């Protein structure tokens, strides 16, 4: 790909945004939740686990634990068993419990609405905080960078960075703020349905004319 100016990249990103919006008009967070606390717990559980499996686990979990205090006061072994199928269950149970204890102690049992307060909770980094702010509160504070968003951002030539926070900064400079939450969903949906890690379907891809396919040929020829 010829060297692209910052302005040209911005224009191309606008076109990608429009095309993905058209392709996935219903894109949304695929973790089942009915309130911010449920989304917070589901997002902690989603590390290294599929949304589908998390949803299976939370169907029962959310019936039993209804408030931050319920998680805070649960016997640790009981909480571990309840989240076991999501993997890394000891660590996840520990984080959920510690996080919910802070919610009770500092926030009256409620999930806070700022990046600074959220990232002070156990098990909550920028990615999780962005999921909560964008989907539970409708606040576009940043862009979720998970494995799909990182991979697609590279392939689309929107970043050359590998570190999620640096990728996020590059994307925030290119995508209009009101689209930040949706942009994360669109890339995640596209990554799951079209631009998979091992087998990107470039031939049928809805944005192939806008994509330099950075690193794809090299990867497929391996
Ligand atoms: S053209 Fe290929 S690499 Fe680019 S977004 Fe589409 S599937 Fe992914």
pLDDT in tens for each of the 222 residues of the chain? 568 999 999 999 999 999 999 999 999 999 999 999 999 999 999 999 999 999 999 999 999 999 999 999 999 999 999 999 999 999 999 999 999 999 999 999 999 999 999 999 999 999 999 999 999 999 999 999 999 999 999 999 999 999 999 999 999 999 999 999 999 999 999 999 999 999 999 999 999 999 999 999 766 655
Residues 109/121, Cβ–Cβ less than 8 Å: no
Looking at ligand 1, which residue's alpha carbon is closest to its atom 2? 202
- For the whole model, what pTM was predicted? 0.93
Find residue 31's DSSP bridge partners: none
pLDDT of residue 221: 59
Whether ligand 1 lies within 6 angstroms of the CB of 139 is answered as no
Burial class (CB in 10 A: 0-12, 13-18, 19+), 203: exposed
Query: Which entry of 32, 70, 122, 146 is annotated as an active-site residue?
Result: 146
Closest ligand 1 atom, residue 155 Cα? 3
> Helices 36-45 and 51-64 sit at what angle, rounded to 10 degrees?
130
Query: Which entry of 70, 127, 163, 209 is annotated as an active-site residue?
Result: 127
Ligand 1 midpoint to CA 133 (Å): 28
CA dist 70 → 65, 78, 91, 109, 164 (Å): 5, 12, 18, 10, 33
127 is catalytic: yes
Q: How far is residue 72's CA from residue 122's CA, in Å, rounded to a whole number?
A: 12
Candidate from 151, 196, 202 with most ligand 1 atoms within 8 A of CB, to mutate: 202
């Amino acid at each position: 790909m010829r060297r692209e100016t910052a302005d040209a990249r911005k224009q191309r990103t606008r076109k990608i945004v429009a095309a993905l919006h058209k392709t996935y008009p219903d894109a949304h967070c695929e973790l089942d939740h009915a309130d911010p606390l449920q989304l917070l717990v589901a997002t902690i559980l989603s590390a290294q686990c599929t949304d589908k499996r998390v949803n299976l686990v939370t169907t029962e979990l959310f019936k039993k634990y209804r408030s931050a205090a319920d998680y805070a006061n649960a016997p640790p072994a009981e909480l571990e068993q309840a989240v076991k199928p999501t993997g890394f269950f000891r660590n996840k149970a520990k984080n959920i419990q510690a996080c919910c204890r802070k919610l009770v102690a500092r926030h009256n049992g409620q999930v806070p609405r700022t990046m600074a307060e959220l990232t002070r909770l156990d098990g909550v980094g920028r990615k999780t905080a962005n999921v909560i702010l964008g989907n539970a509160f409708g606040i576009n504070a940043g862009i979720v960078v998970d494995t799909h968003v990182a991979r697609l951002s590279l392939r689309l030539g929107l970043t050359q960075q590998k570190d999620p926070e640096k990728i996020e900064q590059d994307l925030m400079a290119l995508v209009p703020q009101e689209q930040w939450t949706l942009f994360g969903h669109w890339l995640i949906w596209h990554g799951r349905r079209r631009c998979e890690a091992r087998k990107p379907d470039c031939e049928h891809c809805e944005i192939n004319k806008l994509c330099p396919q950075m690193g794809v040929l090299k990867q497929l020829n391996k």
